[in-house]
Amino acid sequence: MKLAVGSDHAALALKNRLRDQLREWGHEVEDLGTSSTESVDYPDFAHAVATAVQQGRCERGVLICGTGLGMAMTANRHRGIRAAACGDIYSARMSRLHNDANVLCLGARVVAPEYAIELLKAWLDAPYEGTRHVRRVAKIELPEGKP
Ligand code: RB5
C-alpha cells in the first residue's frame, strides 16, 4: 500500500519511526515532513497528507502531532477524508471496520512509541466491513454545495 505520513515538530521522532516501520512492513511511504525539530504549524502537514489521499496519490495517510487532535480536525475539512484520532486499539480497528477511516491520527504526547506501532498495525490490518456502513459513511459527507 502507498501511504503519506506527516507530523509537526512535536511528533517528528515518532513520525520517522512509523515511516521506517511502514517501509519495513513493505509499504511505500511518501514522507511529507516535517523534517526537523523547528517549530511548525500542524495544519500545513495535515493539509499536505489529506491532499495526497484525496487526490489518490496515496491510498491512506498517517498524521501525528502532540495529541493527534489538530491533525484530525484539519484533515477532516477535506472532502472524502475520514481521519480518526485513536489512542486505543479498539478505536483504531473500528475506525477501519465501520468508518472506513483513510487517515490515522496519533498523539506523540499521548501514546508510547511501541504502542503507536501496535495502533498502526491494528489500523492497517482491519478491513472495511462495507454492508450497512456504506450508507452511513456516505452520509458523513455534506451534499455538494452545502457549507
Ligand atoms: C504543538 O505544541 C501541539 O499543539 C500540536 O502538536 C498538536 O497537539 C495540536 O493538536
CB of 69 closer than 6 angstroms to any ligand 1 atom = yes
Domain count, the chain: 1
pLDDT in tens, 15-36: 999 999 999 999 999 999 999 9
Per-residue pLDDT band at 147 (split at 50, 70, 90): low
Say if 82 falls within a structural domain: yes
CB hemisphere CA count around 62 (13 angstroms): 31
Q: For 8-52, list the strands marked E by DSSP.
A: 28-31
Instruction: Identify whether the C-beta of residue 75 lies closer than 8 Å to the C-beta of residue 46.
Output: yes
CA–CA distance, 123 with 143 (Å, rounded to integer): 28
Q: Which CATH number does the domain housing residue 75 bear?
A: 3.40.1400.10
Of 65, 78, 86, 105, catalytic: 65
CB of 70 closer than 6 angstroms to any ligand 1 atom = yes
CA–CA distance, 44 with 46 (Å, rounded to integer): 6
Say if 143 falls within a structural domain: no
pLDDT in tens, 42-75: 999 999 999 999 999 999 999 999 999 999 999 9
Domain range for 11 is 2-138
Say if 146 falls within a structural domain: no
CB of 42 closer than 6 angstroms to any ligand 1 atom = yes
The minimum-distance atom of ligand 1 relative to the CA of 10 is 6
